[in-house]
Amino acid sequence: MINELVEWFSIAQGWLFQTVVQPLVFLLGFGEFVDNAFEGTEWFLIGLCEITLIYIILRPLESLIPVHAMTDKRARWNDFLYTLIHRLGAFSILVFLVLDPVMDHVEAILHLQGMSPLNLENLIPGMVGYPLASFMVYLVVLDFFDYWYHRAEHQSNWMWGLHSLHHSQQNMNLWSDDRNHLLDDFLRDIYMAVIAIAIGVQPSQYVLLVAASRVLQSLQHANVRIHFGVIGERLLVSPRYHRLHHAIGIGHESYGKGSLGGHNFAVIFPIWDILFGTALFGKTFEVTGVRDQLPPPEGIGRDYGRRFWAQQWLGLKRMVEFALRKPS
């Protein structure tokens, strides 16, 4: 069954590339990027499969077991626009084009010095020849670095100025995972891609690692009353666990012992929160948002924008404003 799906996917990728993408690349005079365009076609189709799978599974669940009623009918559509931008390959292609020549240059320098890039598969006995095992190891390692990047977004003033757009969604839904500032996502994608290249992740592996992570994160952000139980909540980030991270004054805005600006920063595996003292396990589904967007006296009524371009512009303004803040 899996082999048949892979074969069908390869046929679809080949057809789309030869029929649409390749002629367009040469028409625009970008023939030197034709190989990159083929990889971009793969990203596009995987993103399309993700979007279809997410909608088929999560949208009915949001109707059957919602946490809250949607107070803004445009919220889901606006977040869907972010999903189209991020899942259909545009960001991945851009990051690849930026990093590819840089990493090739670095690798050439290393070879001249008699050094080889790190490869986890060669360091861990028994990984070679077991693709599922290597996939899981890379997923755990990348998630560890993602945890620290996410935590930095809540600790650094200028990074929070961008990332707060993601947290300003008061109507969390199946598309909210992709509701991020473009600059925020671009910087994170570069960071994660550099880590992946540094530990020896192959491009074909990276595509699947990113896809698996994104599908799980879509579930986490969905408007569904789901948790994984006492044990499961400590093994995999659930919608309830991650919702606590988005909760006003409880998750990302709390300053508990051992916490840098909040709780539940783990992207996939809660073990990082448990190990580094930022885990918060609760039994409630809390209200989400950012405190300063609330009207006085609870907040200052900050405007985060309702449309895509307004949200992007206001994010840049917050980045500058927060970066210039004096330490309290």
> Residue 258's pLDDT is what?
43
For 326, the token pair is 């004096």
How does pLDDT run along the chain (328 residues), one tens digit per residue? 567 777 888 888 888 888 888 888 888 887 777 877 787 888 888 899 999 999 999 999 999 999 999 998 889 999 999 999 888 866 666 666 666 677 677 767 767 776 666 677 767 766 667 778 888 999 999 999 999 999 999 988 999 999 999 999 999 999 999 999 999 998 998 899 888 888 888 777 888 898 899 999 999 999 999 999 999 999 999 999 999 999 988 776 665 444 446 899 999 999 999 999 999 999 999 999 998 888 888 788 899 999 999 999 999 999 999 999 876 5
Separation of alpha carbons 199 and 201, rounded Å: 6
Phi, psi (rounded to 5 degrees) for 291:
-60, -40
Separation of alpha carbons 276 and 67, rounded Å: 29
For 11, the token pair is 């046929």
Separation of alpha carbons 146 and 127, rounded Å: 23
Residues 80, 81, 84, 86: is their CA dihedral positive or negative? negative
Q: What share of the chain is helix, strand, coil (3-state, %, to 5)?
A: 65, 0, 35
> Residue 296's pLDDT is what?
85
> Residue 327's pLDDT is what?
61
